[in-house]
Amino acid sequence: MTTREEAMAFGLSLPGTFADAPFHDDNWTLVRRCDTRRVFLWVYERLGSLYMNVKVEPEMGIIWRGAYAAIQPAYHMNKEHWITVRLDGSLPPQLPGALIEQSYLLTGKKQRRCKKAE
């Protein structure tokens, strides 16, 4: 995945999603879930490179940032829960899609926990 079109198409292929451009800036495109309206994918160009921001579990963010130079703390977002991924072809081909899917799952409706009767 190395183009905006590929990243957006992958995000939009997930169930119940839609594209949004709330900043009225063609550079910043994002994909939201219909059920929660939460954003799970940001795609933008910065300093001549294409990037995406995705949500991760905090522990996984540390692992991904340590494993790949193309993965950094999130640009303009919570750095504990989001990562920025440079889409320059340096990552294993399946990884950007897997990160988008994980972000999609993390932004779904939270499951309520019930207390068991004793």
At 39, which CATH number?
3.90.1150.30
Q: Which pLDDT belongs to residue 112?
A: 56
Domain presence at residue 117: no
pLDDT at 15 over 60: yes
pTM, entire model: 0.88
Query: Distance between CA atoms of 37 and 62, rounded to whole angstroms?
Result: 27
Domain presence at residue 75: yes
Domain presence at residue 111: no
Close Cβ partners of 93 (under 8 Å, ≥ 6 residues apart): 1
Q: Which pLDDT belongs to residue 113?
A: 57
> Binning pLDDT at 50, 70 and 90, where does residue 56 land?
very high
Domain presence at residue 116: no
Q: Which pLDDT belongs to residue 22?
A: 85
Query: Distance between CA atoms of 83 and 30, rounded to whole angstroms?
Result: 15
pLDDT at 98 over 90: yes
Report percent pLDDT > 70 for the chain: 92
Query: Minimal CA–CA distance to 71: which of 81, 61, 59, 57?
Result: 61
116 vs 88, which has greater pLDDT?
Answer: 88
Domain presence at residue 39: yes
Domain presence at residue 55: yes
Sheet holding 29-33, edge to edge: 17-20, 29-33, 39-46, 49-55, 82-86, 71-73
For range 22-50, the mean pLDDT: 92
Domain presence at residue 114: no
Q: Which pLDDT belongs to residue 61?
A: 93
Query: Distance between CA atoms of 7 and 115, rounded to whole angstroms?
Result: 40
Domain range enclosing 63: 4-106
Count how many domains the chain has.
1
